[in-house]
Amino acid sequence: MVTLTAKHLSYAYREKPVISDISLEIKPGEFVGLCGKNGCGKTTLLKCLGHILIPQGSVQLDDIDLAAIPPQTRAQQIGYVPQSIYGKIARTVFDAVLMGRRPYITWGVSGEDIRIVENVMDKLGLLPLAERDMFEISGGERQKALIARAIAQQPSILLLDEPTANLDLYHQLEVMDVLTQLVHDNGISAVMAVHDLTLAMRYCSKVIIINNHQVVKIGPPQEILDPALIRDVYNVDAWISSDGGIPHIIPVSAAYGA
Amino acid sequence: MTVLILLLLVLACISVTIGSAGLTPAQVAETIIAGITHNQSGTFEEAVVLGLRLHRVLFGVCAGFGLAVCGAVMQGILRNPLASPFTLGISSAAAFGASVAILIGAGISLWSDSFIVINAFVFTLVATFGIYLLAKHRGMTAETMVLAGILVMYLFSAMTSFLQFFASAEHNQEIVFWTFGSLSRTNWEKTGVLFFIIICTVPYLLWRSWDINALAEGDEIAKGLGVLADRTRALCMGIVSVITAGIICFTGTIGFIGLVAPHISRMVIGSDMRYLLPVSGLVGAILLTGADILSRSIIPNQIVPVGIMTAFIGIPFFGYLFMKVRREYW
């Protein structure tokens, strides 16, 4: 299992900085939430961590710079789940998940690949959809298929961009439970960009709060997520309740003009 | 797949048999067998079947296969259902190259024929390089490459029209005839060259079909799966343009197949390139062979250029599937 270290990451779109001078470390077994308001750079940071975008600064897996690792080997170490895929692809759900094995396959698909894919699809309840086309299924199911694909990559680090954005309550919990179990059982780490602070508080072992393109706080969510921070970052007055043992954040009012 | 191969074989047999020489299928078969066993006799049948028809049919099969594979690859890597060698300027560059050669190499000679071929080939590569340069400047995304391709297409079309405007009626006729696309200019050497190009390139594209599949879902997905998106796209474009150049420099513009054969195939088998490439290729070969049969039989004792016929034979086929198949495929 590997530790991912980012040092002084900066990225700009057309000279407009999106993340600037971010350093962080993700250890094996950590489930990390990236939080911050829209446009703060969560997705860009996630992409830079996986070298989907090439940032200034360095990203290292253990002590090896990501730039020095061949793309195929990198894809065996890091799985990336975007929020959505491009357009309509006439491909069955099974074939879509099977593409996660691409970093291991040159041409032929082995029995082992099939077994891994079936296993992942079973865990995420996707097996009944295996022969359906990707765009016949609902947006949420499609998102689950993308998550299944990244898991089938068997990476040491999973990068997920809003993995629960299109999911209903049941499937949100299902996906988060599967990810938590995966992180726990396999000692991998997961980093997800997430808007739902309650979900982050419940499932993440660590959250990274980004504001104005920089990290403003890192730590266990129960310790660092408080009404003052939420007001600072989101301009929202909120209170945190722990009724029933599960902490949840209740937004009360938007602090307009703050 | 087996059905397609059988259909192609049947069409190829019909194609070798029909013609104004009035040979029976048995005579044709005998001549081909004699040709294969090197038992050549210099007969009339031999001259017609081996000298005129067989290489034309084989060239048509290779050309249809190649154009369709090119279309499938381009639609995949550019994520655009309208991408094909024809719509992205590669064909119009070849037409411009041929026009220049027709105008410069005015005398009708063997030399002028090869000059047209070489010029068409070179300009095709020039166009691809132009697309590459334009796209590189803005980043090798699917969108920039499509836009650059369309720019290149209009540029070369305009330049060809410009030449035509000043050319003599005779030259104009030759240029127009070239742009119709025809299999009449083939011979065994050209068929050999094309076969060699196809054999060298298509297996490579097939080998990269996982990468093309990934690119079809978006660059981020592809990069996340360890595919060098920009480099793979540029490389595939380069290969596709060599195949296209190798075909249309000999035949003239045959536009429709590269666009529609992949769509027909995709409607039936889906968009997995591992299967889509060979199936599109076979569908393309069938369409072009069918169009060639039609072009030689529709008007007695006259050969209509095959480039005109491809749409006539392809559209009913496409239309039928379009109405019948309810599967959303793009």
Question: Cβ–Cβ of A86/B207 closer than 8 Å?
Answer: no
Distance CA B136, CA B148 (A): 10
Question: Cβ–Cβ of B226/A100 closer than 8 Å?
Answer: no
The chain A residue lying nearest B76, using CA atoms, is A89
Distance (Å) from the C-alpha of residue B241 to the closest C-alpha of chain A? 24
| CA B98 remoteness from chain centre | 16
Q: What is the pLDDT of residue B41?
A: 67
Provide the 3-class DSSP secondary structure of residue B201.
helix
Question: Which among B217, B266, B270 has the least Cβ separation from residue A86?
Answer: B217
Query: Cβ neighbours of residue A52 under 8 Å, at least 6 residues apart?
Result: A80, B220, B223, B224
Nearest to B302 by CA among B15, B20, B12, B16: B20
Distance (Å) from the C-alpha of residue B125 to the closest C-alpha of chain A? 29
Domain residue spans of chain A: 4-225
Please give chain B's pLDDT, 330 residues, in tens.
788 888 888 888 888 777 766 677 777 777 777 777 766 667 777 777 677 788 889 999 999 999 999 999 999 988 888 888 888 888 889 889 888 888 887 555 555 678 888 888 889 888 888 888 888 777 777 888 888 888 899 999 999 999 989 888 888 888 888 888 888 888 888 899 999 999 999 999 999 999 999 988 888 899 999 999 888 988 998 899 899 988 988 888 887 899 889 988 988 888 889 999 999 999 999 999 999 988 888 887 778 888 888 888 888 877 887 787 766 666
Q: What is the pLDDT of residue B135?
A: 80
Question: Which among B226, B266, B272 has the least Cβ separation from residue A72?
Answer: B226
Distance (Å) from the C-alpha of residue A32 to the closest C-alpha of chain B? 19
pLDDT digits (tens, 9 = 90+) for A108-160: 889 999 999 999 999 888 999 999 888 788 888 888 899 999 999 999 999 99
What average pLDDT does range A171-175 have in this prediction?
88
DSSP state of B302: B
Set of chain A residues whose Cβ sits within 8 Å of the Cβ of B330: 87-88, 90
CATH of the structural domain A4-225, one choice from 3.40.190.80, 3.40.50.300, 3.40.600.10, 3.80.30.20: 3.40.50.300
pLDDT digits (tens, 9 = 90+) for A222-249: 888 888 888 888 888 888 888 777 788 8
Cβ atoms within 10 Å, residue B214: 25
Question: Which among A52, A76, A90 has the least Cβ separation from residue B223?
Answer: A52
pLDDT digits (tens, 9 = 90+) for A47-56: 999 999 999 9
Quickly state the pLDDT bin for A190 (edges 50, 70, 90): very high
Question: Which among A70, A91, A100 has the least Cβ separation from residue B271?
Answer: A91
Distance CA A48, CA A179 (A): 21
What mean pLDDT value characterizes chain A?
A: 89
Question: Cβ–Cβ of B227/A102 closer than 8 Å?
Answer: yes
Distance CA B293, CA B19 (A): 9
Query: Cβ neighbours of residue A163 under 8 Å, at least 6 residues apart?
Result: A81, A143, A147, A175, A179, A192, A194
- Which residues are registered as beta bridge partners of A211? A214
Q: What is the pLDDT of residue A73?
A: 93
Q: What is the pLDDT of residue A225?
A: 87
Question: Cβ–Cβ of A102/B207 closer than 8 Å?
Answer: no
Distance CA A123, CA A148 (A): 9
Distance (Å) from the C-alpha of residue A121 to the closest C-alpha of chain B? 18
For A17-46, b/e burial (b = at least 16 CB within 10 A) is ebbbebebebeeebbbbbbbeeebbbbbbb
Question: Cβ–Cβ of A135/B328 closer than 8 Å?
Answer: yes
pLDDT digits (tens, 9 = 90+) for A61-108: 998 999 999 999 999 999 999 887 766 677 889 999 999 999 998 778
Amino acid symbol at A28 = P
Nearest to B94 by CA among B132, B123, B125: B123
Residue B104 burial class via C-beta count within 10 angstroms: exposed 0-12, middle 13-18, buried 19 and up: exposed
Count, residues in chain A: 258
